[in-house]
Structure 1
Amino acid sequence: MTLNRDARIGRSALLLLLSEEKEYQEDLISNTNWSFCEGKVGSMEAQKVVAAIETAAKNNHIIDKDLYREGHALYHAIIEALHGVTRGEVQLGSVLRTVGLTFAVLRGSPYENKAEGEWIAVALYGTIGAPVKGAEHETIGLGINHI
């Protein structure tokens, strides 16, 4: 089981999210044949963040909405990414915190042996803080799960 150094799905998801150049997206897709989507979400409720990312992934055909295992893999990747954003406790409104996030969802095969299957990565970047303009700071999170 060797991870392909040129196809690291977590690194690629973060670069996709943080890159302001569309050339990176084009290169990623042409060199890997992976699929991805991007979006934005802001909320004081973690379930709204999860729902926005799941909806984007389904609408952009990153996951098959009729296959439980694909939705389940995405859910775990989202929760892992939210743990990074919220520093371990996936709580927002109940502790008076709000987030404004951009996200990238990336699906592909990061291993040289294709029998290892596909994986999904969720990268989140934005701000978190008290629900008062100017009382926030940057945050980032990454979640990766096998499908």
Structure 2
Amino acid sequence: MVLAIDRRIGKYAILLAMNGDQEEFPVVTPSQWKSCMGKVGSMDSQKVVAAIETAAKREGIIKSDGYRETHALYHAIMDALSGVTRGQVQLGSVMRTVGLRFSVVRGNPYEELEEGDWIAVALYGTIGAPVRGSEHETIGLGINHI
């Protein structure tokens, strides 16, 4: 199993999340991959999960029926949220709020086709007390096999 240098799925996910919809630094993923982007702000981690899952299903990144793909996406989201929240996936209950841009990327990052698809979720934005000006930058990445 060899990770192809030009197909690092996490790198593409992070670049998409950080770049957002700006044309300043266009990010082009490999043609056979699927991706989507969006924004979410909340004091509730469940709303963050729901926004990302809804976008991924709406854009055809994962199938809306069935468990396996939703489960893989969920674990990638939770890993990314863990990075954003420094291991404590809590927001409102500890008086924190987030304003995030997210990306979801699906594809095979390996040279061998039999390795199958993987999914990456990247989150980039701010976290802090629910008082404007009290936030700081944050980033998180989660990658899971499908």
TM-score by length of 2: 0.95
> Which runs of 5 or more structure 2 residues have no equivalent in the other structure?
none
Secondary structure, counterpart of 2:12 in structure 1: helix
Q: Percent identity?
A: 67
- Structure 1 residue 144: Cα displacement: 0.2
- Structure 1 residue 16: Cα displacement: 1.6
Higher helix proportion: 1
Match of 1:2 in 2: 2
Match of 2:135 in 1: 136
Do the aligned residues in 2 keep the contact of 1:57 with 1:63 (CA within 8 Å)?
Answer: yes
Amino acid at match of 1:133: R
The C-alpha deviation readout for 1:118-141, integer Å capped at 9, x for no partner, is 000000000000001111000000
Using a 3 Å threshold, how does the CA distance of structure 1 residues 136 and 65 change in structure 2: closer, same or farther?
same
Match of 1:72 in 2: 71
Using a 3 Å threshold, how does the CA distance of structure 1 residues 100 and 17 change in structure 2: closer, same or farther?
same
Tell me, in whole angstroms, the C-alpha distance in 1 between the residues paired with 2:129 and 2:115.
Answer: 42
Match of 1:15 in 2: 15
Is 1:98 aligned with 2:97?
Answer: yes
- Structure 1 residue 23: Cα displacement: 6.5
Do the aligned residues in 2 keep the contact of 1:64 with 1:71 (CA within 8 Å)?
Answer: yes
Do the aligned residues in 2 keep the contact of 1:9 with 1:121 (CA within 8 Å)?
Answer: yes
Match of 2:56 in 1: 57
Do the aligned residues in 2 keep the contact of 1:98 with 1:129 (CA within 8 Å)?
Answer: yes
Tell me, in whole angstroms, the C-alpha distance in 1 between the residues paired with 2:31 and 2:65.
Answer: 25
Do the aligned residues in 2 keep the contact of 1:7 with 1:32 (CA within 8 Å)?
Answer: no
Tell me, in whole angstroms, the C-alpha distance in 2 between the residues paired with 1:92 and 1:125.
Answer: 15
Number of aligned residue pairs: 144
Using a 3 Å threshold, how does the CA distance of structure 1 residues 22 and 111 change in structure 2: closer, same or farther?
farther
What CA RMSD, in Å, does the superposition of the two structures yield over aligned residues? 1.2
- Structure 1 residue 24: Cα displacement: 3.0
Using a 3 Å threshold, how does the CA distance of structure 1 residues 22 and 63 change in structure 2: closer, same or farther?
farther
Match of 1:115 in 2: 114
TM-score by length of 1: 0.94
Tell me, in whole angstroms, the C-alpha distance in 2 between the residues paired with 1:10 and 1:110.
Answer: 9
**Moved runs in structure 1, 4+ residues, more than 2 A?**
19-25
- Structure 1 residue 21: Cα displacement: 2.8
